[in-house]
Structure 1
Amino acid sequence: MNKKLITIDLDGTTLNNKAEVSSTTKKVLSQATAEGHIVSIVTGRPYRISKQIYDSLGLTTPMINFNGALAHIPHKNWDKSYEYTINRDIVFDILNSRKELGINMLAAEGKHMLLADNTSQLVEGFFPQALKSNQILNQQNLQHDPTSITMFVDQDKKQLITDRLLKKYGDVIEVNTWGGPKAVLEVVSKGIQKAVGVSYLADYYGIAQKDIVAFGDESNDKEMLSYAGWGVAMQNGTPEIRGLANDVTTLNNQENGLAHYLEDYLNLAK
């Protein structure tokens, strides 16, 4: 079998519903690596809440964060790393019209930066429950262009806010929606999505597109699964993702669906 580039989403895919990696998943991904395949995390998560997962899997490969906006090797200065940013003036503009737009909370992030304007909508596990003075989103603290902007909005205003943002900044940004019950919008640079990061990794490793195997479950995995030579949707994935994938796991993320699928696909010793 040719060497494969295996790109794995985290939430709802590699992680169970408690945001944990099971021992079974660790074992299978370790086996895949030992057999010469390349395993790389490609996630919408920022680096600050994915590095511990990367470390627990014992990976040394590049990681893609912010849905393709950041490529880097944790704990190393990788000369091939990239980071696509958004002009900070856009953040200030949105901040000034936050109440008018109906945005409940606004956050700006980079590889080593998290700023938010309040804590009322923060999601446990994704954001700290309290902000230090230097973490408050304002002109004084936001000194650098962010990689991602996150907005918590009212469910009934989600489309309206998306349309307004695209009308004003659509030539330089993309607006994505988080999966799950909360109405959350995420802004990244124009043209950025997970397939950008996957293509970059494939070029770096010299892996043909047909030898890319991608796993995902949500709308932000759409381009990655479509781009990969073999796109695999999780059983718990959205109908859209299951419909466009080459295959669907028999088991869900609570049942180590990714690990069992990969074990069979790569003919790993059980």
Structure 2
Amino acid sequence: MERKLIAIDLDGTTLNADAQISAKTKAVLTQAREAGHIVSIVTGRPNRISANFYDELHLDGPMINFNGSLGHIPHQHWHDEYQYTFSKDVAFDLLAHRAELGINMIAAEGKNLFLAVRDHPVEVGFFPTVLQSNEILNQKTLQQNPISLTVAVDRSHEDHLLSYLRHNFNDVVDAAPWGGPNAVVELGVKGVQKATGVEVLAHHYQIDRKNIIAFGDEHNDAAMIDYAGWGVAMQNATAPIKSLANDMTTFDNDHDGLATYLQDYLKLAE
């Protein structure tokens, strides 16, 4: 079999509901690599909360974070490292208008950047519940352009925030609401998606699109699943992702759906 580039999303795909990689998933991904295939994490998560999974899988190639906006090799210098950032003025504008927009929290992030401001307690996964004094976002502390802004609002204000962003910054950023219980909107550079990162990986490894297999479950996986020669939706994926994919796993992310599918697809021994 020709060498495959296996692009894996983390949450809802490689990780189970407890945000862990099962023993079977780890074993199958290791087997795939031993058979000569490439495994790459392509996630919406920042690098600060995905490098642990990269290490757990003993990966050594590039990882894609922030939905395609950062490509790097953790723990080392990579001459093809890239990042897409947008003007910090967007953050300053939202800071200035946060009361009228119903904003509860704003976090600005980059490869080595994490600053946040919280006006009301928000239980949003991925963010520290207590901010250190050197993590407070304001006009003075934000010195560099961010890769990503994460904005939590009251649910009743979400549509207003989205239309405000469209009206003011439509040519600069894409705003994507998270799925899930919280009204959270994530901002990234206009037009950059997971497929942007997968294309960099394909070029790096000199792999044709037809030999890319991508796994995902949420709207931020759409471009990657569409770009890959073989896009696979998880059993637990949203309906639009399922309709876009070439195939679907038999089992969900809590029952080793990705591992079982890969074992079959790559004809790996049980």
TM range (shorter): over 0.9
1:25 correspondence with 2:29: no
**Paired position in structure 2 for 1:72:** 72
**Equivalents in 2 of 1:211, 1:81: separation in Å?**
23
Q: Deviations over 1:234-257 (max 9, x none)?
A: 000101111111001000000010
**Paired position in structure 2 for 1:168:** 168
**Paired position in structure 2 for 1:121:** 122
Q: How does 1:1-270 map to 2 (within 5 A)?
A: 1-118=1-118, 120-124=121-125, 126-270=126-270
Residue 124 of structure 2 aligns with an amino acid whose one-letter code is V
Does the residue aligned with 1:99 lie in a helix, a strand or coil? coil
Q: Deviations over 1:220-245 (max 9, x none)?
A: 00110011000000000101111111
Structure 1, gaps ≥5 residues long = none
Residue 156 of structure 2 aligns with an amino acid whose one-letter code is D
Q: Deviations over 1:101-137 (max 9, x none)?
A: 111111100111111112711424x111100111000
**Equivalents in 1 of 2:212, 2:154: separation in Å?**
38
Structure 2, gaps ≥5 residues long = none
TM (norm. structure 2) is 0.98
Aligned-residue CA RMSD (Å): 1.0
Residue 242 of structure 1 aligns with an amino acid whose one-letter code is K
Tell me if the contact between 1:122 and 1:128 (Cα under 8 Å) persists in the aligned partners: no
Tell me if the contact between 2:124 and 2:182 (Cα under 8 Å) persists in the aligned partners: no
Residue 121 of structure 1 aligns with an amino acid whose one-letter code is V
**Equivalents in 1 of 2:179, 2:247: separation in Å?**
21
Task: Give the percent of matched residue pairs that are identical in Structure 1 and Structure 2.
Answer: 56
Shift of 1:94: 0.8
**Equivalents in 1 of 2:195, 2:177: separation in Å?**
17
Residue 248 of structure 1 aligns with an amino acid whose one-letter code is M
